[in-house]
Homo-oligomer: A and B are copies of this chain.
């Protein structure tokens, strides 16, 4: 039997999905499982954009342009303009989800052995794309004690080597919910210009910023036209995760040329979801007002409940729909499995993502979990009831309260 590839072996299984069999077993036993483990919102996809797909009258489901429908890209320029980003439709490549945008950035800009600096914790799937592409992720620590603020300029400088090719951020951040300030983005800009590095910015959660703060895109920073690459997706914005439509946006023509060849090799992004995405650009602006208010209320509730639990640390996230909490436990993977296998409270339990999977540095995040506030307030309250009782019971059984 031939061997599978080394990269196939090294590729990490999804840390979010690893616990799924335990959740399935719990459900089979009749236990309700509150899923705070995955960024799959329960918010309804706007009916108007689903209708756009339903009312399509095509006769032949043809390939689209490899960069996506021209009509969609033109509309997207308006969307970006409203968000402080001036680009034309030739500077946008529509991708198959944000995932493909990330892969295009790495593949267009980096060769095997090149290094990508990312503040950790970071979105776990970046690891998979790095292994696929043969590049190295160099993590630099951000920590729960600073609320996951951008690491210091010195930390970046220390990480830069001759093989460093790019810095990557997710803003607002998955998994931390951290929203980078203008000052922090200016620090990144300075480092990128000084060392001639690309700046990849995953801005999937742009619309979800709280406490009156505004999101700032890397493409709105002056002087970074050749360095900044915006990676985007409609998945979270419009609760359209299954559509698989994203965007790769940059003003660097050479990068666009390279990414365009990658886009041609895979022919075209999915047409139905492009129709959905195009309709989404025309949604009335109060769509985001409502969704924003909903996530804001959920965040407030989740954080209030977590912060009220003994021994729990949870910085208030400034954006996205995630929070990381440090729990008074020994090992969050063990704890999360225990929650599914051995615990229930009033017939229910809670599923969370052990945070170690979001750190590249071994041992970090071992007592942390990521919670996605993608359920309604009633469910969040019940999930927090479970967690509160569970922490006490777990401490009694394990004697590991800190």
Footprint of B on A, CB under 8 Å?
A: 1-2, 4-9, 11-14, 17, 40-45, 50, 53-56, 58-64, 66, 96-97, 99-100, 103, 107-112, 114, 125, 128-129, 132, 134, 165-166, 196-198, 226-227, 239-244, 252, 254-255, 257-259, 261-262, 264-273, 276
Given contacts A99-B266, A111-B6, A270-B270, contact A50 B61 (CB under 8 A): yes
Listed by A's residue number, 25 A-B pairs whose Cβ atoms lie within 8 Å are A1-B226, A1-B254, A2-B166, A4-B109, A4-B257, A4-B258, A5-B107, A8-B109, A8-B257, A11-B262, A14-B265, A44-B60, A45-B61, A62-B241, A62-B242, A96-B266, A97-B266, A99-B266, A107-B132, A125-B265, A128-B264, A241-B267, A244-B269, A244-B271, A270-B273
**6 extra interchain contacts, Cβ-Cβ under 8 A, other than A5-B258, A272-B276?**
A8-B255, A8-B257, A11-B262, A60-B239, A62-B242, A125-B266
Taken together as a complex, chains A and B put the C-alpha atoms of A227 and B2 apart, in Å, by 7
The answer to whether B128 touches A261, judged by C-beta atoms less than 8 angstroms apart, is yes
Taken together as a complex, chains A and B put the C-alpha atoms of A1 and B63 apart, in Å, by 34
What's the nearest-Cβ distance from chain B to residue A112, in Å? 6
The answer to whether A242 touches B268, judged by C-beta atoms less than 8 angstroms apart, is yes
The answer to whether A4 touches B255, judged by C-beta atoms less than 8 angstroms apart, is yes
Please give me the residue from chain B that is nearest to A268 by CB atom.
B242
Given contacts A4-B254, A50-B58, A267-B241, contact A262 B40 (CB under 8 A): no
Given contacts A61-B240, A244-B96, A268-B244, contact A108 B5 (CB under 8 A): yes
Copies in the complex: 2
Partner of A111, one of B5, B59, B196: B5
The answer to whether A99 touches B61, judged by C-beta atoms less than 8 angstroms apart, is no
The answer to whether A1 touches B252, judged by C-beta atoms less than 8 angstroms apart, is yes
The answer to whether B44 touches A63, judged by C-beta atoms less than 8 angstroms apart, is no
Taken together as a complex, chains A and B put the C-alpha atoms of A240 and B62 apart, in Å, by 6
The answer to whether A61 touches B241, judged by C-beta atoms less than 8 angstroms apart, is yes
Taken together as a complex, chains A and B put the C-alpha atoms of A252 and B273 apart, in Å, by 33
Which residues of the other chain, B, contact A197 by a CB distance below 8 angstroms? 2
The answer to whether B11 touches A265, judged by C-beta atoms less than 8 angstroms apart, is yes
Taken together as a complex, chains A and B put the C-alpha atoms of A366 and B44 apart, in Å, by 55
The answer to whether A63 touches B40, judged by C-beta atoms less than 8 angstroms apart, is yes
Which residues of the other chain, B, contact A226 by a CB distance below 8 angstroms? 1-2
What's the nearest-Cβ distance from chain B to residue A104, in Å? 9
What's the nearest-Cβ distance from chain B to residue A64, in Å? 6
Taken together as a complex, chains A and B put the C-alpha atoms of A322 and B264 apart, in Å, by 20
